[in-house]
Structures are given as structure tokens and as C-alpha cells.
A and B are shown apart, each in its own frame.
Chain A
Amino acid sequence: MSLMEVDGLTKAFDGKEVVKDLSFGLKTGTCVALLGPNGAGKTTTLRMLAGFTHPTAGTIQFDQQSLTTDIRQYVGYLPQFPTFHTWMSGLEFLVYVGQLSYLTNAEATDRANELLEKVGLEDAKKQRIKKYSGGMKQRLGIAQALINKPKLIILDEPVSALDPIGRREVLNLMMDLKKDATILFSTHILNDAEEVSDELLLLHHGELVEQGALENLNHLDQTGKIQLNFSVYPEKLESQLKNLSSIKHIKPVGQGVEVVVSDMDVARIEILQLVMTKEWPLTKFEQAKTTLEDVFMKVVNS
């Protein structure tokens, strides 16, 4: 079932289109990464979905309803640089935004305490936000996005500004959140997308260049890498390999080579046949998993 359907979403600032004709759907209960280099239009897209920026063209459907109702009550949003009323304590701020979401004072307080515990801020809840560290603010930002039990959680670069420990904490938190809600988050860090997301939307220059489940991305089938290691480095290895039709690129790595191939199935047979006829002392034949980075670089560079 589809929680959100976006069709032809376009945004132009002063005639310059920063988001061009995006169409995608978010399935209920998935975690989707909106991936792209800086300036690809990720933040603009998320701000349109959260209702801050009005699309120049296109429609957003939420839960089978068009956007005539106020979707803000179903969406939790974490901006890229969350700013708070820093003179308030973490607890006060959460209770405030909870009440803004039509919770009663008692409900908001219960929910705020529950969330503060979940994001690991219960010891600091009475402290002024002024005294919070960057990581603590980010976690408070996530807590405030969850205050009204949203169906969709939109997180703009939730981990980019954090140190490795903070990043780990937030990623774990996101894994946990996946159980109850649909998550859409943007990032330019490939590992994060790979780690927690079920699906990807790859944005480049405002256009959606790739979408789908990570393992199904069609770029992945076409090319691949094979790592070959030898106990003794064979003579004329590279020139011999170069003659094979399926091999596009060869890079020496330590005791062997890394080859980029155009067709994995053909290359596997060709290489192994060559190894057998030449009797090369092969110690390792590894089909390297094409990582998201490969896809990303391929799309961005093409």
C-alpha cells in the first residue's frame, strides 16, 4: 500500500528549476533514502513534502487523499539544522510542540518523557537546550519529529553533522523507528543509505535518476568488479587480460588485479578459462559486490 504518491513535482526559484518533475511513491512501512550530492535538490523536495515550500507544479497525495487536508498532523519533520527556543528545557520544548499537535498537557508530557528516554536524553531533559551538544540537539530534533506519532517521518540529513558515535546512535534509532512508521530521509553519505534504507531515490541536478530497492537497481546488473589474486604475479597478466572482450578496465592491486567487466557472466568464464590454459596460480577469485558508491559515481559522472 502506498502512503504517499508524488507526481510530477517541480519547483522553480526565479525561473530556475531546482527540482524537476519528480514522481515516486512511498510504500507504507519502508525506509527510503533520498540520495544525491550537495545541491541536488534534496532539501527542497523534503520541504515541499513537509508543506513549507509550495510546488511550482505537481501533486502530492497522502494516504490516498490529495493535499487539501493539513498533512502536517501525520508527518514528523526534522530539518537539516534544527533550531530550538534555546531558553527552554528539552522537556518543555517537547511538551510545547506536543500541545501544538493537539495533545493535552498530560498526554504531551507522557509522550515527551517516553521519547526523551528513547533518544537517550532523560538525564538532560530539565537542562536548557542552550547547553545541549550538537548530537543532543539532533536527537531532540528527532524526538520532536515523533511527538505526534506520525505516519511519515521526514528527516533531512539526520546524521551528516554528527560524529561517528552520534551517527551510530541515530542510525540505530532509525532502525528502531522503521518498525512503526514510514521514513524518508535525505543523505549524501552512501554508507548510511545502504545501511538503513530499503529503497533509494537518487537525485541529481533536481532529477530523479534512479529509484527502487537497492538490490534491484538496474545499473548493478550490467557492470561489476572482479578481484583476482595470485600467489606469484604472472608475467604479462595485464596484457593477456586486456585481450578479453568482456574486460573494460584493469587496475593492479597488491598481489593481483581488480578488473571492471561489462558482463559478469561472460567475464567469469573468459577469465577462468584463461587462468586454466595459462596455469596461473590463482589464490582468490572474488566477485566484488557493486556498492552504492559505484552506482552513485556512475550516475553522477555520466
Chain B
Amino acid sequence: MQWSVIFKREMMEYVRSIKWIWVPIVFFIFGIMDQITMYYLPKIIDATGGMPEGAEVNIPSPPPAEALFMSINEMNTLGILIIGLLSMSLIAGELKSGVYELVLSKPVKYANYVTAKWAALSTLVLASFFIGLLAGWYYTNILFGELAIDKFLVAFLVYGLYLLFFITIAIFVNTWFKRPGMVLFLSILLIIFVNIITSILGHFLTWSPGHISSYVSTYLFTGNITTEMWGTIGTTIVLIIGLLYAAVEVLKRKEL
């Protein structure tokens, strides 16, 4: 009841601040950008010229699995940045502006406050990611050859989990710092840290969330969901729950 009140208010804010329009559009562009450029690259090179007479432009067309993965690659960089921007003032902004004084002087359960905000942002991001990846899959099919719909769905679900993991990191950082810029910086630093540790100690940390995108890539090529991938999914879910719990506890104890 109280949870859904907060969730609905967040949604209302996303509607009023037209986030429900621009975020899906941005993710849509990320989803199709690479496929379109890749497809038209030979024509672009032709048109702009500069190639010696008689030289043949021969860029091999990527297999469909690789083409779809290009969408995910965009999410991995620009998408993460956008999510960081969306989440940097989710709680920190309210602490900074002082709105929390009115909201948290009501008998609001901290767990409701944190998880409802988390869920609202997750809904926006996952919906936008779905649109972006769907568009990427559609263009892959048209331009580079057929790719089964279950490949798209599994890629959406598994990589979506990685995006949720990042949102949760950002929410956790939100409860520590009041300055949105600081929150953005630290959230991105943390996710980069997870990825660096994973690539250094990759052999030991086979279940690290940092592997998700490479596992998704393997899956797109082979179609097999490996044990490591299940392990990673499990770890990521556990980490998400743990970070949410920690965020609630930090906020509860915080000197507001």
C-alpha cells in the first residue's frame, strides 16, 4: 500500500518530466545505431570518396549474433552512463533539496522508500532497454539475417539483470552521499571496478556479474546457457538483494 504510493508517485514524476519519452527514445537509438552504421558503411565510404580508383571496399557483413550484440555493447557504455544520470539524484537529490524532511517525517518505512524508488527506476530502464534491444533485433533480422526470438529474449533477460545490478549499485551509493555528481561518479567507478576485477581474476570469479555481457555474447553465438551463466545470474541476484538491504540499513542509521 505505502510501497505502491511511492512507486506511483515516482512514475508520475517520470511522466511529468518526460522521462517516459526521452529514455526509451535514447535506448532505441542505442539499439539500432551500430547496425545501421555497419550496414551503410560501404555506401558511406563510397559516397565520401577518398578511396583510390579501382580499390574495392569489402567489409564482411557480421553474423546476426554479432549484430545483435552490438546493441548490448552500446548499452554497456552509453546505456550505463544514462542510467547513472537517471539514478544519481533518486534519493541523494531528495536529501539535498530537503524534500525528505516532509516525506520521511511521515511514518514511511525505509525499506518501502528505497525499494519503491528502485523498482520505479528499474521499470523505466528495463522498458526502455526492451524497446532498444527489440529494435536492434528487428534491424538485425532485416539487415544481417535471421536470429531466433528466444535469443533476443534471453539476451534481454540476462543483460537486463546486469542493468538492474548497476541501478542497485547507484541506489546504494545514493544513501551514502548527498551530492548527485558524487553519486554518479562513484556508481560508475564501482561498476568499472567490478569489471576490472573480473577481467583480472576472471578465472576464479567465473560467477561475477562482470562476465554477464561476455556470457550473453557466447550464448548468442552458441545458443547454450552454460553453468557459469547460471552461476553469474545467481550471484547477481544475491548481490542485488544484498545491496538493497544495505542501502535500507544505511539510510535508517543515517544522520539526516
Contacts and interface: CB of A to CB of B under 8 A. Distances in A.
Given A53-B255, A53-B256, A84 B102 contact: yes
A52 B105 contact: yes
B214 to A, nearest CB: 41
Given A52-B256, A87-B16, A72 B98 contact: no
A100 B256 contact: no
Contacts of B105: 50-52, 72, 75-77, 79, 145
A82 B102 CA distance: 7
Bin chain A's interface residue count: 20 to 34
A83 B98 contact: yes
Main secondary structure of the interface of A (DSSP, over half): loop
Interface in B7-61: 9, 12-13, 16-17
A102 B1 contact: yes
B201 interface: no
A83 B99 CA distance: 5
Query: Chain B contact residues (Cβ within 8 angstroms of A): what range?
Result: 20 to 34
A70 B252 CA distance: 12
A113 interface: no
Interface in A146-197: 147-148
Given A53-B255, A87-B13, A97 B98 contact: no
A132 interface: no
A110 B97 CA distance: 29
A84 B12 CA distance: 15
A97 B106 contact: yes
Nearest to A51: B105
Contact of A79 (B12, B13, B98): B98
B255 A85 contact: no
Interface in A76-112: 76-77, 79, 81-85, 87-88, 92, 96-97, 99-102
Interface string B172-204: 000000000000000000000000000000000
B107 A72 contact: yes
Nearest to A141: B102
A100 B98 contact: no
B107 A144 contact: no
A236 B149 CA distance: 109
B17 A52 contact: no
Contacts of B5: 96, 99-100
B101 A77 contact: yes
B237 to A, nearest CB: 29
Contacts of B6: 100
A49 B4 CA distance: 28
Contacts of B97: 83
A79 B17 contact: no
Contacts of B82: none
Interface in A205-232: none
A76 B13 CA distance: 25
A219 B101 CA distance: 37
A54 interface: yes
A6 to B, nearest CB: 18
Nearest to A81: B98
B4 to A, nearest CB: 9
A73 interface: yes
Contacts of A102: 1-2, 107
- Counting chain A CB atoms within 10 Å of each CB, the highest count among B2, B6, B12, B106 belongs to B106
A50 B99 CA distance: 15
Contact of B2 (A79, A92, A100): A100
A193 B150 CA distance: 71
Contacts of A82: 98, 101-102
Nearest to A75: B105
Interface string B108-138: 1000000000000000000000000000000
Contact of B102 (A70, A73, A99, A144): A144
Contacts of A92: 12
A125 B255 CA distance: 33
A79 B101 contact: yes
Q: Top 10 closest A-B pairs, CB basis?
A: A83-B98, A77-B105, A73-B107, A79-B101, A100-B106, A99-B5, A72-B107, A52-B256, A101-B106, A83-B99
11 contacts: A52-B101, A76-B105, A81-B98, A82-B101, A85-B9, A85-B99, A87-B16, A99-B2, A100-B6, A141-B102, A148-B106
Interface of A: 47, 50-54, 70, 72-73, 75-77, 79, 81-85, 87-88, 92, 96-97, 99-102, 141, 144-145, 147-148
Given A52-B105, A88-B12, A100-B106, 11 more contacts: A52-B104, A54-B255, A70-B107, A77-B101, A79-B101, A83-B97, A85-B13, A99-B1, A100-B5, A141-B102, A144-B102
